[in-house]
Amino acid sequence: MLTIYDHQGAKLSKGEGMAPVSDNTVWIDLLNPTSEEDAYVEKALGIDVPTRAEMREIEASNRLYQENGTHYMTAFIVYNIEQPEPMTTALTFILAGKRLLTVRYAEPKAFPLFLTRVDKGDLACNSAPAIMMGLIETIIHREADLIERIQDVIDKTAPAIFELRGGQMTRGRRLEAILKTVGKQGDVNARAQESALSLDRVLTYFAHAARERKDDAAIATRIDVAHRDVHSLMEHMRFLSSRIAFLLDATLGVISTEQNQIIKLFSVAAVMLMPPTLIASIYGMNFKHMPELEFLWGYPAALTGMVISAVVPFLYFKRKGWF
C-alpha cells in the first residue's frame, strides 16, 4: 500500500494510492509494496527502492549507505509487543532530498501512534528529518514499554521459583511453566536487544547524514537525546539478560534438586528392602535339609525378622535426615 503525506501547516494531509508527488510532499510510506508502487516511487523520487531481501541483509554496509545523495538506513524493530511473542521486522528509512520514504512489510503500532501525536500537535512534521526522528522516538518509546513488560514478568516469576509449594506433581508442573516463561522472556529480551543495537547504528548514521545535509540543529539535538535513551535501554536489557540467566540457572537447579530427591527416596527404599529380601530369599530355597523349616514359630519369626530389618534402616535414615 502506498501512502503519500503532504505538509500543510502543522498537520499532515494523507493521500492513498498513486497520488501525485507535490512540492509539499514530505513523507511517502510503502507498506507491503507491489512492483507497480515500487516503480512509481522510484520514478517520482529518482531513487532505487530496496527489495525485501536487501532490507534483511545483516552487513552494516548494506543497511546504512549513501547512493547518489540519498541516504538509506534500515533498522530491525520489534512490534506486536502486547502479544506473548513479539516479532521483529526490517524498516527502511530513505532520506531523498526534502522527502522521507519508509519501506516496511509489517504494521508496527508506532506508525499510527506517531500520526496521532502529529494530529494532536505534539510532534513537528515540517520536514523529512523531523518525521523520521518522530518515528524513531515513537519506536524507542514502544521498545521501552516492552522492556517494562519483561521486567514485570520477571519480577512476578522470580519469587515463585524459590517459594514452591504443593505436592510433587504440582511442583513439577509449576517448574515446567516457570522454565518456559523465563525462557520466553529471554528470547523477547534478545529481540529487543537486537532492535536497540540496530536503532543505535541508525541514529549514528542519521547524525552523520544530518550534518552532511545541513539539517536543522534541532534534529541533531533530538538525535543525541534518542541516542542516550537507546543506550539507557541497552544497559537495562543487559541487566535483564543477566537476571534471566540467573533465573534459568536457579530453575534448572531446583528441578535437579527435585529429581535428586526422588532418586534418593528410591535408593533409601531399595536399601530398606534389602534385608527383608535376603531373609525371604534364604527361606524360599528348596533344600531338603533346612532345620528351621520344622520350627513351629518359623513363619512368624521370619516375618518379624523382615519387619525389624526394614524398620531399623528406616529409623536410621530418618535420624540422619536423608529423606
pLDDT over threshold 60, residue 73: yes
- Average pLDDT, stretch 93-114? 88
**Cell numbers at residue 182, please?**
523465563
pLDDT over threshold 80, residue 224: yes
The residue that leads in pLDDT, 20 or 232, is: 232
What is the pLDDT at residue 214? 85
What is the pLDDT at residue 321? 66
Angle, CA 158 vertex, CA 152 and CA 162 arms, to 5°: 160
- Highest mean pLDDT (candidates 50-64, 130-144, 252-266): 130-144
pLDDT over threshold 60, residue 168: no
Q: Which band of pLDDT confidence, cut at 50, 70 and 90, is reported for residue 125?
A: confident
Domains of the chain and CATH, by start: 2-258 (3.30.460.20), 260-320 (1.20.58.340)
CA 250 to mean position of chain CA atoms: 19
Taking Cα atoms as reference points, which of 244, 236, 1 lies closest to residue 107? 1
Answer for the pair 248, 180: CB distance below 8 angstroms, yes or no: no
pLDDT over threshold 60, residue 263: yes
The CA distance from 14 to 6, in Å, is 7
- Average pLDDT, stretch 187-216? 88
Answer for the pair 4, 15: CB distance below 8 angstroms, yes or no: yes
The CA distance from 64 to 35, in Å, is 23
Residues 6+ apart with CB under 8 A from 292: 283, 298
What is the pLDDT at residue 228? 92
What global pTM score does this model have?
A: 0.77
Q: Which band of pLDDT confidence, cut at 50, 70 and 90, is reported for residue 235?
A: very high
Taking Cα atoms as reference points, which of 162, 139, 150 lies closest to residue 247? 162
What is the pLDDT at residue 230? 92
- Computed over every residue of the chain, the mean pLDDT equals 81
What is the pLDDT at residue 123? 67
